[in-house]
Amino acid sequence: MLEPTFDAPQSLALLRLGTLLHARGYHFVTPTPLTHQRVNQRPGNAQAKDLRDVFGWSRPFSDGTLDEEIVAAMREAQVLQPHAQGWISQVRFSSLGDELYAHSRFPTEESDAVFFGPDTYRFIRLLRDYLAHAHQPLRRIADIGCGAGPGAITAAQLRPGAEVMALDINPNALAMTAVNARQAGLYNLRVQHSDLLRDVDGQFDLIIANPPYMLDAQQRTYRHGGGKHGAGLSLAIFDTAMERLAPGGTLLLYTGVAIFAGEDPLLNAVRLSLHDTGWDWDYEEIDPDVFGEELHKPEYDQAERIACVALRLTYQPNQRQR
């Protein structure tokens, strides 16, 4: 099933809104939810005063704060929501390089929220570094769990000759990716509903993923990684990639893992699966300590820390023994 087209009226209006913000020099780097909350709680930050307050910090605003052209685009895009203090935007726009990405407003409490944050920036740095040194032809690229689309869009920009597929089970994520891809001027990318790679055919030269990795009591799609320690989805992507990589193809997985007594359960599982298989792989800890505020929750009462990690796995022809 293909999702959604670029020419839906709501999508076109959201595209127009992003274009207007870009023309006005809008720029915003999205922080962690805890930082976002703390900044918004400071005195004087309850009400929006400018574009960054409305579309970055997700603060309510009163009539007259924004010009009529912006408000009209918001209304047409159906992202203008009444609020006790006037109005609030249902969408945020974050900067990544020269591009703007539409995604869900803060706080991301809805089960179908579309995430964008510090992990996104780390993931894209990892992807850019990989593509800068990758010499093998990349004809087909899949971004599993594309979210707002930064991975798929970056891959499509840096490999314009490739067919890039942005895959997600969340219709909101696919809609946002479609808008963000058009905003970036890309036409070699298509969005498609897929549970991992189950709804697409064939092999891929590059599979990328930045999946959710937290244990979320509400099991929100954008946040809940599943499994015993939140690594369930990361392991499912790992298993899927081993079956769907073309000869010489690579999985680039950026994710997070809870560390227990100095042990990384994701790394241990990968080692066990790859023992004596001949796959070429490496595993790196990108950031040793993120989301420390989660450690007070029962799900993490035995965890020492939560780390961001990267796995590169390459299929070497004639050596798959799994």
Q: What is the CATH number of the domain that holds 203?
A: 3.40.50.150
Q: What is the pLDDT of residue 175?
A: 95
Whether residue 110 lies inside any domain: the answer is: no
Q: What is the pLDDT of residue 220?
A: 63
Residue 188 neighbours by CB distance under 10 Å: 15
- What sign has the CA pseudo-torsion 39, 83, 49, 183? positive
Instruction: State how many domains the chain has.
Output: 2
Q: What is the pLDDT of residue 299?
A: 85
Whether residue 112 lies inside any domain: the answer is: no
- Residues 173 and 299 both lie in one domain: yes
Q: What is the pLDDT of residue 4?
A: 42
- Residues 93 and 124 both lie in one domain: no
The answer to whether 280 and 228 have CB atoms below 8 angstroms apart is no
- Residues 199 and 302 both lie in one domain: yes
The answer to whether 194 and 222 have CB atoms below 8 angstroms apart is no
- Residues 153 and 284 both lie in one domain: yes
- Residues 99 and 122 both lie in one domain: no
Structure tokens at 233: 């989805």
Q: What is the pLDDT of residue 275?
A: 82
- Residues 207 and 88 both lie in one domain: no
Which residues contact residue 101 at a Cβ distance below 8 angstroms, ignoring those fewer than 6 apart?
Answer: 93, 94, 95, 116, 148, 149, 150, 176, 180
Q: Which residues pair with 309 in a beta bridge?
A: 255, 285
* Helix/strand/coil for 216: coil
- How confident is the model over 252-295, as pLDDT tens digits? 999 999 999 999 999 999 999 998 787 999 999 999 999 898 89
Q: Tell me the average pLDDT of the chain.
A: 92
- Residues 181 and 86 both lie in one domain: no
Q: What is the pLDDT of residue 231?
A: 84
Structure tokens at 207: 């599979």
Which residues contact residue 102 at a Cβ distance below 8 angstroms, ignoring those fewer than 6 apart?
Answer: 14, 17, 18, 91, 92, 93, 148, 176, 179, 180, 183
- Residues 91 and 135 both lie in one domain: no
Q: What is the pLDDT of residue 322?
A: 42
Report H helices in 134-256: 150-158, 171-183, 232-244
Whether residue 248 lies inside any domain: the answer is: yes
- Residues 13 and 78 both lie in one domain: yes
Find the domain containing 55 and state its range.
9-104
What global pTM score does this model have? 0.93
- Residues 131 and 93 both lie in one domain: no
- Residues 83 and 126 both lie in one domain: no
- Residues 140 and 80 both lie in one domain: no
The answer to whether 74 and 21 have CB atoms below 8 angstroms apart is no
The residue from 61, 78, 104 where one domain ends is 104
Q: What is the pLDDT of residue 318?
A: 64
Averages of pLDDT over runs of 10 residues in the chain (322 residues) are: 56 96 97 96 97 98 97 97 97 97 94 93 98 94 97 98 97 96 94 97 97 74 66 93 96 96 95 88 96 88 94 80 44
